Amino acid sequence: MTDRYSRQELFAPIGKEGQKKIAAKHVLIIGAGALGTGNAEAFVRAGIGKITIIDRDYVEWSNLQRQQLYSEEDAKERLPKAIAAKQRLERINSNVVIEAIVGDATARELQLIMEENKPHLIIDATDNFETRMVINDISQKYRIPWIYGACVGSYGISYVILPGKTPCLNCLLETVPLGGLTCDTAGIISPAVQMVVAYQVTEALKILVEDWKSLRNKLVSFDLWKNQHTAIRVDKVKKVTCPSCGEKPTYPYLSYDLQTKTAVLCGRDSVQIRPAVRQDRDLGELAELLAKQGIQVEKNPYLLSFTADGHRLVVFKDGRVLVHGTKDMIEAKTLYNRYLG
Amino acid sequence: MEIIINGDKILLPESVKTVSDLLSHFQLNNKIAIVEVNLNIINKQDYEITTLSNGDKVEIVHFVGGG
């Protein structure tokens, strides 16, 4: 037990002092997919004090190729990713406090986390720009660094955003990119994930041991299949007029988010519906109700699923519903209202 | 024209004259990207008026959303 972190402590830029700092830190990981599981395992093995991991989805067979914390059992049981991740992480390192949240990383949810238990760092492991813009505003409002990371195919990209120092994601993007980019039509290979995870975790360790001068300070991208690697200094892109990090911030994505209730899950052929007001659902009662209509229901402690009108609907305890087999929000809402509304 | 893109020498067709043409050529015109020409980042609104010359060193990083 005592030499658990000896190799990491031998690494001079961390040392015993750095290890103590790591053990006192709390990281929030948003998303428990490929990047989220890779990051989480690395932090837990490195002896972080606490991680909070939030994810709205459950484990499916197509995740197992690259989402390193999950097993066939998890996919069979359709365990929520946050729960399956926590179970595995606790077996890896029982000294780390792991908080799992099965839910949507909305502005409201993230602000609650910030008010209750402010983390030292936020890791982006989401699969969409809408959530990233919310993370970006949260980071600026609460003055917490965050590390952008994304990948598709054999391509990956990462950047460290430090409030008050670097440009923010809103400065870099100027607008939220529309569809196409997040949809996994191009597929993904696991080394691209691992490479982004390596960039994210390394910069994170520098932040956690407070070795600020060693940070990369560049926007980095690579294509492992095409043998390309690029790094650009983007300091000059920082805008004083930026609504997220400028002189008069309004954090536009923290209020916009409150209107979002329906979202198409990219590459999943699924629509998520979230009630306007968060309300826990009694899954037992719902199962009975559906059974009375002759509908066959599958259930675990976290979610319930059934097939109706040719679509599979998955109901989470926190009230969210996934409608599979459609990208049409109206059709999804119709089914939602028909069986659950 | 031959320029260096992300470290590789690339021969471009005559039709590619500006940064905007270059992004179209690589089918990146609908994506959000950061483009650096000879170590200067080009503003998005200047893509169409920024012309490229033989031997220019260009770095392109485009944003993706997956994860």
What is the pLDDT at residue A266?
Answer: 64
- For A5-256, CATH number out of 3.40.50.1000, 2.30.30.240, 3.40.50.720, 3.50.50.60 equals 3.40.50.720
DSSP, collapsed to helix, strand or coil, labels residue B34 as strand
| Gap between the Cα atoms of A207 and A202, Å rounded | 9
Which of chain A's residues have a Cβ under 8 Å away from the Cβ of B32?
Answer: 173-175, 177
Q: How many CB atoms lie within 10 A of CB A317?
A: 16
* Class at the top of the CATH hierarchy for domain B2-62: alpha beta
| Gap between the Cα atoms of A152 and B65, Å rounded | 8
B63 closest CB neighbour out of A125, A173, A188: A173
Nearest Cα residue in chain B from A125: B67
Indicate the range of A73-77, A151-155, A260-264, A314-318 predicted with least confidence. Answer: A260-264
**Model confidence over A215-254: pLDDT tens digits?**
999 999 999 999 999 999 999 999 999 999 999 999 998 9
Min Cα–Cα distance to chain A from B55, Å = 18
| Gap between the Cα atoms of A305 and A298, Å rounded | 5
> Is there a contact between A235 and A73 (Cβ–Cβ < 8 Å)?
no
Question: Quick one: tokens of B56?
Answer: 């220019």
- For chain B, domain boundaries: 2-62
Provide the annotated active-site residues of A: 183
* Class at the top of the CATH hierarchy for domain A259-340: alpha beta
Q: What is the mean pLDDT of residues A297-319?
A: 92
**Model confidence over A146-161: pLDDT tens digits?**
999 999 999 999 999 9
- pLDDT, greater one: B48 or A258: B48
What is the pLDDT at residue A179?
Answer: 45
Whether residue A329 has pLDDT greater than 90: no
Which of chain A's residues have a Cβ under 8 Å away from the Cβ of B31?
Answer: 177, 181
Nearest Cα residue in chain A from B36: A232
CA-CA distances (angstroms) from residue A228 to A156, A190, A220, B10? 11, 17, 11, 13
| Gap between the Cα atoms of A149 and A33, Å rounded | 12
CB pairs under 8 A between A and B: 85
Which of chain A's residues have a Cβ under 8 Å away from the Cβ of B38?
Answer: none
Min Cα–Cα distance to chain B from A148, Å = 10
Which of A6, A197, A26 minimizes the C-alpha distance to A96? A26
Q: Grade residue A183 by pLDDT with cuts at 50, 70 and 90.
A: very low
Indicate the range of A61-70, A88-97, A269-278 predicted with least confidence. Answer: A269-278
The tokens 């990047």 sit on which residue? A35
Task: Inspect the interface and report whether the beta carbons of B67 and A221 lie closer than 8 Å.
Answer: no
Nearest Cα residue in chain B from A228: B6
Q: What percent of chain A has pLDDT over 70?
A: 94
Looking at every residue in chain A, the average pLDDT score rounds to 91
Whether residue A22 has pLDDT greater than 70: yes
What is the pLDDT at residue A276?
Answer: 65
ipTM of predicted complex: 0.91
- For chain A, domain boundaries: 5-256, 259-340
Cα torsion through A242, A245, A250, A254, rounded to 10: 110
Which of A177, A158, A170 minimizes the C-alpha distance to A239? A170
Whole-prediction pTM value? 0.85
Min Cα–Cα distance to chain A from B25, Å = 17
CA A240 to mean position of chain CA atoms: 29
- pLDDT, greater one: A283 or A43: A43
The count of residues in chain A is 341
Name the β-bridge partners of A308.
Answer: A311
